[in-house]
Amino acid sequence: MGSVAVTPVLGGVIGFLLVAAGAVGWLGGFARWWSVLGAGVRGAVQLAVVSLVIAYVVRSSWLVGVFVVVMFAVAVRTAGRRITGDRTWWWAGVPIAAGVAPVAAVLVVSRAVPVTGLVLVPLVGQLIGGALTATALAGRRLLDELEQRRGEVEAALSLGLSDRDARLEIARPSAGTALVPALDQTRTVGMVTLPGAFVGMLLGGASPVQAGAVQLLVLVGLLAVEAVAIAAVLEIVARGRLTRPGPLSPAA
């Protein structure tokens, strides 16, 4: 299959679908039409800018590194602010880095994929995105659990457990829920959904076998990244590094 041509027809279809989404949300009373249209326009502008930036930075290895650092910084800020409003939000960088760095290193050292900017930027971007999602989900879930079960944490402390162990005792059983989206995506790939890497390679002219192999690499890489990120979030929450203002905060 050939690549998709960027034509006025494609632009018209995108515009029609965006207007339809806004109209349905407005008529259904569950979304403001201007919010939907605004999101679509913003996405179009951002993709246009990013496309131009990527076309430029892939020519230089150091620019690729700068672009990856920018993606990482945005992910840390986004994940941290989704978890907490206090100044500990920057600890979200630890699980994201802990998950992405070793997986990206394995891909580069093994030469499993071409070590070029055009390949590494989108691939590492997907890994950072997965780590962001897992970190945000795990951080919010664990802190919510500790707040809701504050009495159990205090009871564990009264039994002689350390702060870390008391938090782990309550938070650990909930940590696995953050991995569920990645597990479901991997279990249902090809049967329920055809993810972006697979479809993108097919549209780019790759064979189904090549597209499937790359998609499997992405999915398994995301599982590894997110598992490590969740484990790191659990540890930093248990140690009181990532907190929310309240009775369980070390500052309280």
Domain presence at residue 219: yes
Is 114 in the same domain as 8? no
Q: 204 Cβ partners below 8 Å, 6+ apart?
A: 3
pTM, two decimal places: 0.80
The neighbour count for residue 93, using CB atoms within 10 Å, is 18
- For residue 215, the model assigns a pLDDT of 80
Is 180 in the same domain as 75? yes
Domain presence at residue 111: yes
Is 32 in the same domain as 142? no
Single residue among 36, 57, 78 that ends a domain in this structure:
57
Domain presence at residue 34: yes
Single residue among 57, 81, 99 that ends a domain in this structure:
57
Is 18 in the same domain as 130? no
Q: Specify the 3-state DSSP secondary structure of 194.
A: coil
Is 4 in the same domain as 40? yes
**What is the residue-level pLDDT of the chain in tens, covering all 252 positions?**
455 667 888 888 989 999 999 999 999 988 888 899 999 999 889 888 888 888 788 778 888 888 899 999 999 999 999 999 889 999 999 999 999 999 999 988 888 877 787 778 888 999 999 999 999 999 999 999 998 888 888 888 888 888 888 888 888 888 888 999 888 888 887 776 666 666 666 666 667 777 778 788 888 999 999 999 999 999 999 998 988 876 545 544
- For residue 99, the model assigns a pLDDT of 95
Is 52 in the same domain as 65? no
Is 92 in the same domain as 172? yes
Is 43 in the same domain as 98? no
Is 188 in the same domain as 69? yes
Domain presence at residue 247: no
Domain presence at residue 245: no
Q: 104 Cβ partners below 8 Å, 6+ apart?
A: 120, 124, 127
Is 70 in the same domain as 152? yes
Domain presence at residue 15: yes
- Domain span including residue 33: 1-57
Q: For residues 209 and 135, give the distance between their C-alpha atoms in angstroms, rounded to a whole number.
A: 32
Q: Where would I find the H helices in the chain?
A: 8-28, 33-57, 61-83, 93-110, 117-148, 150-158, 163-175, 180-188, 196-203, 208-238
Number of domains in the chain: 2
Is 148 in the same domain as 35? no
Q: DSSP string of 96-149?
A: HHHHHHHHHHHHHHHTSS--SHHHHHHHHHHHHHHHHHHHHHHHHHHHHHHHHT
Is 43 in the same domain as 133? no
Domain presence at residue 85: yes
Domain presence at residue 197: yes
Q: For residues 196 and 162, give the distance between their C-alpha atoms in angstroms, rounded to a whole number.
A: 45
